[in-house]
């Protein structure tokens, strides 16, 4: 791979040339969604301008070529994760993938008295689908608490709650508020020892640590394309082949069937069984392009670059008396903070006036906010295209904000 060069990376992102409120854009909201490199934008354009057609339908040349590109994209994702192609199901994103697992796998295997262990630091996308399926099956959602001081999972509590009632364990790889990296390897092994199914929400994790899913052994791993430099509307569900094969479809429609008659319908095998209707072909192709682009980067040095920026930010913020950092995770790409007595959105608005895009609010993690006794935080999330100068400018803007607010 090419040596890591942030200027070279930046030059590949047209949107990073924008000005916002008459200032050069400083984009510090990549955990919400990433900006897109030109090659990904071109891949979408080329798909639509280069003669596209529907996939897995008919036999004319355009449909064959589109089907080939669509299935090649699935292979790219499978190779990226070191799993076989038939374990990769296209979804709209992490949220849809988690709902698919809940409504197909969990809904058909859970019974009253069964328990679903879910961590307190989860995004709502990894909580609400489990609550819905608990309601439908009579199972119960049991919380794995976080340790307030560290914003890390309380592993002792996890072991206390793990029992023969536990049928499913759902945790994130990396959390979206503090950047906490969970000990997913240990969680997966312990859950498997008692026969529970493991679901890893990789929405944040996939961007900073490429998992070898064969090695990791999770039953399910999900992520969204849009956080990994691809467009929104495409995501991935990885599932172990035996589990996918045993799961019933959750949506009905075209392409997920072998034979339909009014007497009954034979379903296709997975992954087609879970992909009813015309899929997001351009999205899948663009995600494969994003992955290919990402893999050509010297990721070891890219991650070092990001963690250096995060440390610079941490050290700068630590000098500002009014600012309280929440659950600092050294080495991560995320930093959350609050200013006591000031609404996070007021800080984000002041930053925005300086062209700095930072996220404020509860980050779709109400239970974590409740555990930390906060209504929200300001979150700065860094990506490979950010620079030390941007961090310096943000720190200057925050110093001014402290004076104003
Ligand atoms: N899980 C985590 C940890 C996330 O950060 C997000 C996105 N903020 C999601 C799940 C949901 O992803 P999406 O909205 O793309 O489906």
Using a pLDDT cut of 70, give the percent of the chain over it. 100
Q: How high is the mean pLDDT of the chain?
A: 96
pLDDT at 226 over 90: yes
What does the alpha-carbon distance between residue 291 and residue 294 come to, in Å, rounded to a whole number?
Answer: 5
Higher pLDDT, residue 64 or 151: 151
Give the model's pLDDT for residue 182: 98
Q: What is the pLDDT of residues 255-271, one digit of tens each?
A: 888 899 999 889 999 99
- Ligand 1 closest atom vs CA 232: 15
Q: How far is the CA of 3 from the centre of ligand 1 (A)?
A: 30
Q: How far is the CA of 122 from the centre of ligand 1 (A)?
A: 9
Among protein residues, the one whose CA lies closest to atom 5 of ligand 1: 176
What is the four-CA torsion angle of 222, 73, 38, 63, rounded to 10 degrees? Answer: -130
Instruction: Find residue 29's DSSP bridge partners.
Output: 381
Active site annotation includes 105: no
Using a pLDDT cut of 90, give the percent of the chain over it. 92
Q: Taking Cα atoms as reference points, which of 224, 231, 170, 166 lies closest to residue 200? A: 170
pLDDT at 1 over 90: no
Query: Average pLDDT, stretch 42-65?
Result: 91
- Ligand 1 closest atom vs CA 224: 15
- Ligand 1 closest atom vs CA 93: 16
Active-site annotation holder among 151, 172, 364, 394: 364
Tokens matching residue 74? 């699935």
Q: How far is the CA of 96 from the centre of ligand 1 (A)?
A: 10
Among protein residues, the one whose CA lies closest to atom 8 of ligand 1: 32
pLDDT at 2 over 70: no
pLDDT at 229 over 70: yes
Q: Taking Cα atoms as reference points, which of 120, 197, 191 lies closest to residue 159? A: 191
Tokens matching residue 131? 């609550």
Q: How far is the CA of 121 from the centre of ligand 1 (A)?
A: 12
């Amino acid at each position: 791979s090419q040596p890591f060069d942030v200027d070279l990376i930046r030059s590949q992102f047209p949107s990073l040339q924008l000005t916002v409120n008459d200032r050069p854009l400083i984009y510090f909201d990549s955990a919400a969604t990433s900006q897109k490199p030109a090659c990904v934008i071109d891949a979408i354009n080329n798909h639509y301008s280069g003669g596209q057609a529907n996939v897995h339908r008919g036999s004319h040349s355009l449909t064959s070529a589109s089907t080939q590109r669509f299935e090649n994209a699935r292979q790219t994702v499978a190779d990226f994760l070191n799993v076989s192609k038939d374990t990769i199901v296209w979804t709209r994103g992490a949220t849809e993938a988690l709902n698919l697992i809940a409504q197909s796998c969990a809904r058909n295997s859970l019974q009253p008295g069964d328990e679903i262990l879910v961590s307190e630091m989860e995004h709502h996308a990894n909580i609400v689908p489990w609550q819905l399926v608990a309601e439908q099956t009579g199972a119960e959602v049991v919380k794995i608490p976080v340790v307030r001081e560290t914003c890390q999972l309380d592993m002792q509590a996890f072991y206390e709650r793990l029992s023969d009632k536990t049928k499913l364990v759902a945790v994130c790889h990396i959390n979206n508020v503090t950047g906490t990296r969970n000990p997913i390897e240990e969680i997966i092994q312990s859950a498997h020892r008692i026969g529970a199914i493991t679901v890893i929400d990789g929405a944040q994790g996939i961007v900073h640590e490429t998992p070898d899913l064969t090695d990791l052994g999770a039953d399910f791993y999900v992520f969204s394309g849009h956080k990994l430099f691809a467009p929104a509307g495409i995501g991935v569900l990885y599932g172990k082949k035996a589990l996918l094969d045993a799961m019933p479809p959750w949506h009905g429609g075209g392409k997920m069937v072998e034979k339909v008659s009014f007497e009954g319908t034979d379903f296709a095998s997975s992954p087609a069984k879970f992909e009813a209707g015309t899929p997001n072909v351009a999205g899948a192709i663009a995600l494969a392009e994003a992955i290919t682009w990402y893999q050509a980067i010297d990721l070891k040095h890219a991650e070092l670059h990001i963690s250096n920026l995060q440390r610079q930010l941490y050290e700068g913020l630590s000098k500002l008396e009014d600012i309280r950092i929440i659950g600092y995770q050294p080495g991560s790409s995320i930093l959350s903070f609050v200013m006591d007595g000031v609404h996070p959105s007021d800080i984000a608005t002041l930053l925005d006036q300086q062209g700095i895009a930072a996220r404020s609010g509860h980050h779709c993690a109400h239970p974590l906010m409740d555990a930390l006794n906060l209504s929200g935080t300001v979150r700065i999330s860094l990506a490979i295209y950010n620079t030390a100068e941007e961090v310096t400018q943000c720190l200057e803007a925050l110093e001014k904000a402290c004076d104003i607010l």
